[in-house]
Each structure stands twice: as structure tokens, then as C-alpha cells.
């Protein structure tokens, strides 16, 4: 390769890398719109007819799209970057560079001698792992039926199912009771939750059929990892651990249905205007883009909206289940469980333990700390000093305003105290009439009255997430 060709190659690579990096900086811009609007909204240099033709060619008759169909662009800026590249460079150059980048990224999966293999895979038999996941995608949990039937008897499976049902119902209750979400969006969210399917166990026929053994004779033995193994689910240790582990992480999956990408689909899988109410949508943007849940510079940045919403749901489900279990007892004194932890402490420890990994990373650490530092009950449970990293003055929440949380604490505060909190709470209102920040008056930790005050406020939230679909 001549010096001129080498210099040209560097220029091509620099142009492409710069455009692609620019498309992911500052968050993704997601949009749902009819395909006929593609040229106007995302790719001015590429006609809609070209998209129509190429999409149908790629789908190869499996699905036929028309310009009237609605599409979801998960990153409009990426489409705009591709549009720019195709207008700046020859199409064959762009395709060649992107193809080579893909080879460099995932080539190690085909040949371990190629560079780029993640550290986490170095001690694994990659081909066996690949075989397992291909099998899983083809057969679902069916090929695990023998293992599940032996390891998890019916009583255990019923306990797991009860946790998931409680989490789902609590999420529905939160949406029904959350005042900042307008009625139409609230109904759409509840409908979506009720339509969700959870695939965890093989069907009863597979759990009991003897012919399964013959079908799976040549399959590798499954490893002991999954959603219902430690540390997510531990039989016999109490509700706190399993709600904080399995329950909270199932709640994370539910929360994804309402993150900035999930709200573009309704309960039937169609594109929707789920958060289209003007006042409700502004509040939604602020809550999901809360700067108190963001950690810039940590492996590309971490947004903890899912974790914050999940902790609220899971802790609410835990409290509801605990209240039912406590009915008929003379006191509501918290029971002590293993290792000298209170139930609340065990709940939060279980939540973080599920994020442990062989190779610790900043992202794994933040998946634990970001949701919990935004949850007042964690600081209360562990008596974190005011203004410490896990008890900051500013917090974010999804379902509840900060002053509502104070009154919720296990019924432990009087009605008058709740009214006082609501009366003394203040809100900063922007020029557009939207609340930019909530400030809650000091709340004392459980215990004696001379404890340090615990202040809490949700910050003003920046909006760089989903944009409203255009009115067509």
C-alpha cells in the first residue's frame, strides 16, 4: 500500500469514527414516526423510497413494509451520521470500513486467536457457551426442564412466582396512585404491565414428560446459573433477601418497559404516544434524565433510571408483603435475621449482592450504588451521615415526590407529620410552569429525636431523552 493510499485510509477512518462517536455523545435521541417521514426527520440525503426498497430487500419477503408503517429509530443521530457519511464518502468506502470495524469487534468469537476477546471470556469455553445460547434461543427454557424439575420442586417454584406476581402488582399500584402521570398515560402503562409475559419455567408437560430425556440426550449439561439461583433467590432465608434480589431485579426488567425506549411501544407492541400528555411528559423526561442518577465517565456513562424505579417498586412490594405477614402480630417491630442485619438492611444488601461479578467493574458498582443513594430508606436503614456519598442532599425518584416518601415509611409516621411534610415542602417553578426541583423539609431517622436531620430533594432534570413524535 502506497503512502497516498495509507493517508487516504486514515482520512476515511477518521471521518467515519468521528461521525459515529458524535452520534452517541450526549445520549441517544429516540423517535417513532411513519417511514414516509424518514427523509424529513433523519436522512435528508436518502429518499424514503430508497429506505422502502432496501428494507424490503433485507427482509427478504419475511415482512413487507410500506411508507405508511411506523418505525422506531433508537438513535436518530446515528441515522443522521450515516446520512452524512454516505454524502461525504463513496458508499463502497463506508461499507468497507464499517465491515472491517465489525470484524475487529467480534472476530474473536469465530477465532480466539484474533484480538479483542473480553477478559471475562478468557476462562470460558466459548464454543460451549455459544452452543448453549443458540440452543436457548431455539428451545427457550425447555432444555432446562430436567434440571429445573430436580432442583426446584413445586413449592420453590410457587415461591418464586409469588415474588414476581407481587412485584408486577406493586408496579401497577404505583402507576395507579402516582399523581404526576396523567390518566391516559396511567391507563396505557397499566395495560402494558398486565400484558407482559414472563418466561421462567418450562411448561408442565416438559417438567413431567419422560420423552424429554431422549430429546435432550446430546445437549450439554446446563451450568448452575440463572434467575432463580443464588444470590438472586435463596430458599429459606426470608422475604427480605429474595425481594431485594430476585424481586428488585425483576422490577428492573419491568422498568425497561417505561424507559425512554420502552415508552415508544404500547402493550400490544405497537408504536404509541404513551407519555404524550404535555405536563406529564415533561415530568417524565426530568425524572428519567435526572442528573443525580448519572455517572459521567464511567464506561460511557450510566443512567440509573431503571434501578431507581425498580427499588421503589421492589421495596413497595416488600413492605406490602411484610405488612400482610405482620397482620395478627401485636407489634410491628422489625425482625432480626442472619448476620445481625435488620430486614431493611438485608433487602438492600441482597440488591447489591446480585450485582457482584468475577471481574468487578465500575458499571457493576454503579448498578448498586446509584439506585440506593437516590433512595431515602437505604440511608435510614444504615444510618448514613448526612451529605455522605450514600446520603446526598439531592435525590431523584420516579413514582413519588420526595415529600411523599417521608409519609410512606412503614406507617411509622403520623398523619399530622405527613401533613406537615406536605405543607413545608417547597417547589421551584420554571418559566414554563414546570417544577424544576423539589425540596423536602428535614426528616429524622428512625430512633431518638436528637438524630441528625436527613434532607432530601429531587433535582431539576435535564432533558436529552425521548422526543415527542411529530404531529403528522
Overall average pLDDT of the 375-391 stretch: 92
Per-residue pLDDT reduced to its tens digit, 31-54: 788 899 999 888 998 899 999 998
How far apart are alpha carbons 89 and 84 in whole angstroms? 9
Q: Is the pLDDT of residue 147 over 70?
A: no
Of 49-53, 69-73, 342-346, minimum mean pLDDT range: 69-73
Could you tell me if 255 and 305 are in contact, meaning their C-beta atoms sit under 8 angstroms apart? Answer: yes
CATH class of 146-387: alpha beta
Could you tell me if 413 and 406 are in contact, meaning their C-beta atoms sit under 8 angstroms apart? Answer: yes
What are the cell numbers at 176?
395507579
The band of 325, judged by pLDDT with boundaries at 50, 70 and 90, is confident
Distances (CA, A) of 408 to 30, 109, 315, 316, 319: 35, 50, 11, 9, 10
How far apart are alpha carbons 43 and 23 in whole angstroms? 13
Q: Is the pLDDT of residue 391 over 80?
A: yes
Overall average pLDDT of the 24-29 stretch: 65
What are the cell numbers at 472?
403528522
Write down the domain spans for the chain: 146-387
Could you tell me if 228 and 201 are in contact, meaning their C-beta atoms sit under 8 angstroms apart? Answer: no
Q: What angle do CA 164, 318, 393 make, to 5 degrees?
A: 120
Amino acid at each position: 500500500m502506497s503512502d497516498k493510499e495509507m493517508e487516504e485510509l486514515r482520512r476515511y477512518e477518521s471521518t467515519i469514527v468521528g461521525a459515529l462517536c458524535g452520534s452517541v455523545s450526549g445520549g441517544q435521541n429516540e423517535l417513532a414516526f411513519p417511514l414516509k417521514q424518514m427523509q424529513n426527520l433523519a436522512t435528508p440525503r436518502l429518499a424514503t423510497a430508497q429506505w422502502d426498497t432496501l428494507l424490503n430487500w433485507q427482509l427478504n419477503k419475511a415482512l413487507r413494509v410500506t411508507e405508511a408503517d411506523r418505525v422506531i429509530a433508537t438513535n436518530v443521530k446515528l441515522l443522521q451520521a450515516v446520512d452524512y457519511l454516505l454524502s461525504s464518502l463513496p458508499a463502497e468506502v463506508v461499507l468497507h470500513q464499517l465491515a472491517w470495524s465489525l470484524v475487529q469487534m467480534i472476530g474473536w468469537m469465530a477465532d480466539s486467536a484474533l484480538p479483542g476477546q473480553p477478559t471475562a471470556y478468557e476462562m470460558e469455553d466459548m464454543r460451549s457457551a455459544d452452543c448453549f445460547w443458540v440452543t436457548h434461543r431455539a428451545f427457550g427454557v425447555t432444555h432446562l426442564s430436567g434440571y429445573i424439575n430436580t432442583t426446584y420442586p413445586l413449592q420453590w417454584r410457587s415461591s418464586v412466582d409469588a415474588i414476581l406476581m407481587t412485584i408486577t402488582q406493586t408496579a401497577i399500584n404505583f402507576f395507579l396512585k402516582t399523581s404526576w402521570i396523567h390518566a391516559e398515560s396511567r391507563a396505557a402503562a397499566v395495560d402494558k404491565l398486565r400484558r407482559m409475559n414472563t418466561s421462567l419455567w418450562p411448561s408442565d408437560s416438559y417438567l413431567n414428560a419422560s420423552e424429554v430425556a431422549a430429546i435432550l440426550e446430546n445437549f450439554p449439561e446446563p451450568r448452575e446459573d440463572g434467575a432463580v439461583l443464588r444470590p438472586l433467590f435463596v430458599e429459606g432465608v426470608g422475604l427480605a433477601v429474595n425481594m431485594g434480589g430476585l424481586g428488585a431485579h425483576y422490577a428492573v426488567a419491568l422498568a425497561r418497559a417505561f424507559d425512554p425506549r420502552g415508552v415508544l411501544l404500547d402493550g400490544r407492541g405497537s408504536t404509541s404516544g404513551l407519555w404524550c400528555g404535555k405536563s406529564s411528559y415533561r415530568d417524565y423526561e426530568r425524572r428519567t434524565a435526572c442528573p443525580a442518577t448519572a455517572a459521567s465517565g464511567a464506561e460511557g456513562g450510566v443512567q440509573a433510571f431503571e434501578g431507581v424505579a425498580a427499588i421503589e417498586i421492589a421495596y413497595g412490594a416488600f413492605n406490602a408483603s411484610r405488612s400482610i405477614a405482620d397482620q395478627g402480630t401485636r407489634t410491628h417491630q422489625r425482625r432480626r435475621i442472619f448476620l445481625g442485619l435488620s430486614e431493611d438492611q438485608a433487602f438492600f444488601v441482597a440488591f447489591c449482592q446480585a450485582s457482584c461479578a468475577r471481574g468487578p467493574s465500575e458499571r457493576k458498582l454503579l448498578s448498586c450504588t446509584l439506585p440506593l443513594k437516590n433512595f431515602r430508606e437505604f440511608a435510614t436503614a444504615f444510618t448514613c451521615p448526612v451529605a455522605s456519598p450514600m446520603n446526598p442532599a439531592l435525590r431523584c425518584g420516579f413514582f413519588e415526590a420526595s415529600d411523599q416518601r417521608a409519609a410512606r415509611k412503614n406507617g411509622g409516621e403520623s398523619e399530622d407529620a405527613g401533613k406537615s411534610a406536605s405543607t413545608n415542602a417547597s417547589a421551584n417553578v420554571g418559566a414554563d410552569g414546570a417544577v424544576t426541583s423539589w425540596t423536602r423539609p428535614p426528616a429524622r431517622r428512625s430512633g431518638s429525636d436528637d438524630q441528625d436531620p436527613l434532607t432530601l430533594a429531587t433535582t431539576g432534570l435535564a432533558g436529552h431523552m425521548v422526543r415527542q413524535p411529530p404531529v403528522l
